[in-house]
Every structure is written in C-alpha cells, then in structure tokens.
Amino acid sequence: MAALVLPDLDVDPRTLGDGEAALTAFLRGLPGVDRVGNERRAAQLATRSLKQDTKRALIDLAIRTVDLTTLEGADTPARVRSLCARALRPDPADAEVPPVAAVCVYPDLVATAAEAVAGSSVRVAAVATAFPSGRASRTVKLTDTREAVAAGADEIDMVIDRGAFLSGRYGAVADEIRAVKEVCGDAHLKVILETGELATYDNVRRASWLALIAGADTIKTSTGKVSPAATHPVALVMLQAVRDFHLMTGERRGVKVAGGIRTTKDALRHLVLVNETVGADWLTPDRYRIGASGLLTDLLLQRQKLRTGVYGSADRVTLD
C-alpha cells in the first residue's frame, strides 16, 4: 500500500538520492488530492472580502510581486526597454507606487533588460530550456540557460519535460532540473510545471514535490501559452506542497502563479490563498510571484480608484 509519506516528519525528501526508484516511491506515496474538495476550498477562499486598508496594502503587494512579462515572437529591444521603464516606475504620476519584482523576457533580450534595470531592485528573469514546449535536447536547454545567465539573468524560468513526467519517467525530469540548476549558478531557478498539461491535481502535487526535491527555488504553474493556467485550485495544491516541504525540511521555497491572471480581483484572491495556506512568510516577492502582462494596468487603476473613488479609463495608465 502506498504509505502516507507526510506524517513522518523525520523523512527528508532531499536525501532520497538520485535513484529513480526512491523518487518514484516517494511521489506515488503522496496523499491524493480530492478534486471536488480542493475546488470547493479554493472557491470558499475566493469569497474573502478585502476592504480598505487590507485592499490597499494587497494591491501594493501584488504590484511588488509581479513578474512583468513579455514573451512574444514580435518582441524587440525597444519594447523590452519600454517594459523595463514601466517595471521600475509603474505609475509615472505617482512615485508611491512600488516597482514590480522582475521583468520576464526571452533569453536573447536579457542583456537589453539587464541594462535597462541595472542598479534597481527589479530583477531580470529569462525563460529558458526551449520555452514553452521544452522539446529540445538537453544540450540545447543547458546552452539556452547558460547564455541567459551569462547575459545577466537573475532568475531562470525553466519548463519541465511534461512528456517524460506523464510517462512516469520522474528520474529524467528530476535529472534535467538538477542539471539546469547547476548551470544557473547563483541565478534563482523557477520550475514551470505547465499544470494545464498535467491535467490532474494528483499530477500537480507530484510534479511540485519532484521539482522541490530536485532543487527548484520556486515552482511555477504555467508558461502562459497553455490554458488552463494559474487556476485557484492548482495554486492551492502547489502552496500546500511548499508548506509541507517547509514542515519537513525547514526550507521556504517559492511559488509563482502565471497565466490568465488579468484582474486585481483575481490577483488578490491568489494572495488570499497564500495567506491562508502558507501564511505571511510567503507574502513577499522573495517567495511569491505573479507572472503577468496586462494585470499591472488593472492593479494601477484599482489603486487609483481607492484614492479617487473613480475607476479611470485604461488610457490613464501607461501601457508599456
């Protein structure tokens, strides 16, 4: 029978070793996720009512946790510079608005972004490892990562090999994460699970633990190229993994939700999930990120609305 692994707080999953058998046994021993119950809990937390000071503070927190993202074939250095300017000062009219956490770009634009945000708190994140599909050789993926780091990326957003994961080759997925982690050096590694392709919450839980065990600094829901992406129930399962990993090892790893988060209301509901699942220690850009492009506009408009009572036109905030 699959043993319930979690009760035994003496187990340190980081010491399972590199063997695939031990890893597979561990992942298969994780408790299941009941779909109905999980979605119900996520829906229940979505009814939390955020007012006044709480809402004000959370909008600013949401802005501080944004990874402002552009991942288009049509991206140009000029567009990336414009994005960086917005990341540094989201609202030119209001210096009180904090900068976002990071800008997230393709590897070939890292140098441009790094130059644009140099000397600020804004970090540069690069999607690497043949993002978004991850369908390339290990050599290509590692080269992709190396080049991004060399160009000045502070953070690497890698994708897991979903094909390997879905066919049960957990060892291969873990090896690849370890290999990428190694070439990351000091860069912070975010591991994208692409939960929309994993299909079940049980898989999301297993992939989360797999990534944490293999050394992910942060586990991330999605590339943004596949739907569904950062749903509340998926975020809940990943937060539970990070919470339980902390209970077992004492380490606090991060979570990044990305894909489909466009409104302040949705972003704040994600923050409620964080608050009530892992607690305040994760309410910081060091451990929590929201990957988004359009969200920032609504956050700024909602922020203005709290001050003026009026929800302005999108023309009232700068788009890039």
Question: Which residues lie near another protein (CB under 8 A)?
Answer: 1-2, 4, 6-7, 31-34, 36-38, 40-41, 47-55, 57-58, 60-61, 64, 98, 121, 240, 275-276, 279-281, 283-284
3-state class (DSSP) for residue 127: strand
CB of residue 117 to another protein, shortest distance in Å: 14
What are the counts of helices (DSSP H) followed by strands (DSSP E) for the chain?
13, 8
Task: List residues with catalytic annotation.
Answer: 157, 220, 256
Our CB check for another protein shows the closer of 41 and 141 to be 41
CB of residue 51 to another protein, shortest distance in Å: 4
Our CB check for another protein shows the closer of 64 and 220 to be 64
Our CB check for another protein shows the closer of 171 and 254 to be 254
C-alpha–C-alpha distance, residues 181 and 191, integer Å: 10
3-state class (DSSP) for residue 49: coil
Asked if the peptide bond before residue 90 counts as cis, ω within 30 degrees of 0, the response is no
Give how far Cα 108 sits from Cα of 77, 112, 306, Å.
9, 8, 39
Our CB check for another protein shows the closer of 254 and 260 to be 254
CB of residue 40 to another protein, shortest distance in Å: 7
**From the CA atom positions of the chain, what is the Rg in Å?**
19
CB of residue 195 to another protein, shortest distance in Å: 17
Contacts of residue 1, defined as CB under 8 A and 6 or more positions apart, other chains included, come to none
